Structure 1
Amino acid sequence: MIKLFRSYNPLNMLWLALVLILLRITFLSAIPIKEEFPFAELFSRLHLPSSYQYVFPPGLDLFLAGCLVYGQALLINYLVNYHNLLGRSTFLPALTYVTASSLFPPFLMLGAPLVCNFLVIWMLFKLFSFYKGEDIKSTSYDLGMIVAVGTLFYLPFIYLFLTIWLALVVFRPFNWREWVACIIGFATIFFFLAVSYYLSDRMQQFYDIWLPLAAKFKVVISFNYYNYLVLIPVIIILVLGFFKLQQNFFKSYVQTRKSLQLLMMMFLIAGFSFYIRPDFHLDHFLLCAIPAAIFFAYYFLYANYRWFYESLYIILLASIIYFQFNTF
């Protein structure tokens, strides 16, 4: 399987679709009868019809989520190859994203984090352009607006604003105008939202939407450890990927090294931003799937022993399918 996707062959798009179906068809028997789709936060939800959460029937929900994941996988594959993040063209980023976005049953359903991954991909295209850009103030402004739009859909997305500043640190010499431009872009979206609240005499509700940002971190989070055993092969692949990346780090181009560093920081920011949600759901970690998939692909592309990396991927696939059938 991995050997097949190591090559950049258009026929791999068909194999990718088959892997996507394999990882999701086993979940058909466990689809909730009525699945809520809260794709907007409270402050933007007030402008939508009250019944929008249940607009999709369960089967259609799963199908649309699969279509979104397939489209995102192809975009990520194009992003990685266009910026030469792995050193050569391959279809592995698409395969690993389809796999990473199927780890847990909540990942398989339509939700705000899945929709926001399109914005993450858009952000990465613009962030990676910082390295060779001469005047990036307009790009920085656009990125601020993208984060603001993502925040309308999913509040934890606001923390990805930090990745803009981190990208400016990693890719650019200091220019205060570029730092301020992204703030203005972010404020532009919420300025018009505040105006709509002001005109409807609901400014107090606009102030209340920011309260979760000051919430205390929940030290104790209860969960069933058996449901997360699927993460064992994931952790092994990530660790091996980081070791392989360390070995080849200084053999890569400067832009590639900086881009991979930015992806690592984005992975950490997206992962730790879950705590501001009072009603935390596991699908939040779909925001981590894009950088994780790229690190997965890096390992599988440069791994030496075929029997080992093929077996490791098959174990991961088997674990995902097994835990879709079994809940402890």
Structure 2
Amino acid sequence: MILKKLKSNSSVSLFLVPLVTIAFWIKSLQHPFAYDYFTGEPQNILYYFIYRLVDGKPLVQVVIGIVMTILLAYLMQLVNDRYMFIRIKSKLPALLFVIIVGGFVPMHTLHPVYFGAFFMLIAIYRLFAIFETKKAYSSTFDVGFLLGVGALFYLNLVVLLPAFIVGIALLGRETGWREFITLLVGFLLPFVFATAHAILADHLIGSLSILNENIFTSVNHFRSNIPLQVYLVTLILFTITGSIGMFGQYDSKKISSRKYFIVFFWIFIFSLVGFTFIPVTSQEMLVITAIPVTYLIANLFVFMKSRFWSELLFILLVLIVVSMQFSFDFFNG
């Protein structure tokens, strides 16, 4: 009965989003902390302006992290409401996203990935607008530009560029080379502006040093984090189940919905590629991965025919997220 109410089109789920977010972040509010950055990580060009304002203020950082998570959830709901790739009207994606992120306990504070994810979602919104559109040069430029701006907050967002190239090839109508060029021009333009600013401010060498640190620094937050590893395996199992369920509905879905989910699948794949093979990428990438995962799992819950199993799996997911709030104390204590 719980899931049946939450997956409806009622605004109750949207009302619960901030409450559930605060509930899962309550320990961080009680004992606020700043993220354990590697050298150069908070100096990402656009994020550094924010970091200087909140450095040394862990409670403010946690509050901003909560606000960004809520904004991401509502933006995810907006994308689904606009393009209806989950064909039944449901407010579940927003709530499910904050539940999933609720399990990423080490990320319950401010991090540049939240700003990167925000711009990535707006880029997805613009990307989906090119479905069956000829000569979508304006939209493809916007997609690239938004992704580039997001990368100036969180550099590892660059790893998702191939997924957006695939998305343009998949969604566009009679797509030619110009669409890909405008995407790349849009993506590179924020970096051109950033380089020009660094030159004018006589900070080019420092900026290149920070860029080097954000590419080659080896980070191992995740490798020593057993609870997060277990949680990631759980999410992968849910995602596989959701993917199998989606392929079972493949013939009954509209062409647009099929293609939108394929784009999400590629975003999921490339986020895992970055997570696995790029040394500097660590647990923060899971916030990006959670976006396609949320849509896949939401689709699973919405269309699962067995009420018993859908309710059981949803409750199981919530219980696992709740257990994550205490598992870190157990393993670290």
Fold equivalence (TM over 0.5): yes
Deviation, structure 1 residue 252:
0.7
Q: C-alpha distance in 1, partners of 2:193/2:206? A: 15
Amino acid at match of 2:326: F
Any conservation in 1 of the 2:242–2:300 contact (CA below 8 Å)? Answer: yes
Change (3 A) 1:265 1:293: same
Deviation, structure 1 residue 74:
1.8
Aligned residues: 325
Residues 16-44 of structure 1, C-alpha deviations (whole Å, 9 max, x = no match): 33322332224445533x55689976462
Amino acid at match of 2:262: Q
Q: C-alpha distance in 1, partners of 2:67/2:217? A: 37
Any conservation in 1 of the 2:102–2:321 contact (CA below 8 Å)? Answer: yes
Pairing 1:155-194 to 2, within 5 Å after superposition:
155-172=155-172, 173-194=174-195
Moved more, 298-307 or 61-70: 61-70
Q: Which residue of 2 aligns with 1:299?
A: 300
Deviation, structure 1 residue 128:
0.6
Q: C-alpha distance in 1, partners of 2:145/2:29? A: 37
Q: Which residue of 1 aligns with 2:325?
A: 324
Q: C-alpha distance in 1, partners of 2:68/2:42? A: 20
Q: C-alpha distance in 1, partners of 2:217/2:44? A: 21
Deviation, structure 1 residue 239:
2.1
Amino acid at match of 1:298: N
- TM-score scaled by structure 1? 0.87
Q: Which residue of 2 aligns with 1:114?
A: 114
Q: Which residue of 2 aligns with 1:247?
A: 248
SS at match of 1:291: helix
Deviation, structure 1 residue 152:
1.1
Q: C-alpha distance in 1, partners of 2:269/2:166? A: 12
Q: C-alpha distance in 2, partners of 1:319/1:141? A: 41
Deviation, structure 1 residue 265:
0.2
Q: Which residue of 2 aligns with 1:98?
A: 98
Q: C-alpha distance in 2, partners of 1:320/1:196? A: 43
With a CA cutoff of 8 Å and minimum separation of 6, indicate the structure with the bigger relative contact order: 1
Residues 224-252 of structure 1, C-alpha deviations (whole Å, 9 max, x = no match): 43443233542332222111101101111
Any conservation in 1 of the 2:131–2:256 contact (CA below 8 Å)? Answer: yes
SS at match of 1:88: coil
Any conservation in 1 of the 2:112–2:154 contact (CA below 8 Å)? Answer: yes
Q: Which residue of 2 aligns with 1:264?
A: 265
Any conservation in 2 of the 1:212–1:277 contact (CA below 8 Å)? Answer: no
Change (3 A) 1:49 1:105: closer
Indicate the percent of aligned positions where both proteins have the same amino acid: 19
Moved more, 117-126 or 60-69: 60-69
Q: Which residue of 2 aligns with 1:70?
A: 70
Moved more, 203-212 or 159-168: 203-212
Unmatched tracts of structure 1, length 5 or more: none
Deviation, structure 1 residue 267:
1.1
Any conservation in 2 of the 1:149–1:189 contact (CA below 8 Å)? Answer: yes
Deviation, structure 1 residue 116:
1.6
Moved more, 142-151 or 197-206: 197-206
Residues 119-157 of structure 1, C-alpha deviations (whole Å, 9 max, x = no match): 121011111111132331111112221122112111101
Q: Is 1:124 paired with 2:124? A: yes
- TM-score scaled by structure 2? 0.86
Q: Which residue of 2 aligns with 1:24?
A: 25
Deviation, structure 1 residue 266:
0.6
Q: C-alpha distance in 2, partners of 1:50/1:9? A: 37
For the aligned residue pairs, the C-alpha RMSD in angstroms reads: 3.0
Moved more, 35-44 or 290-299: 35-44
Change (3 A) 1:318 1:26: farther
Any conservation in 2 of the 1:26–1:321 contact (CA below 8 Å)? Answer: no
SS at match of 1:230: helix
Amino acid at match of 2:274: S
Change (3 A) 1:215 1:141: same
Q: C-alpha distance in 1, partners of 2:47/2:225? A: 35
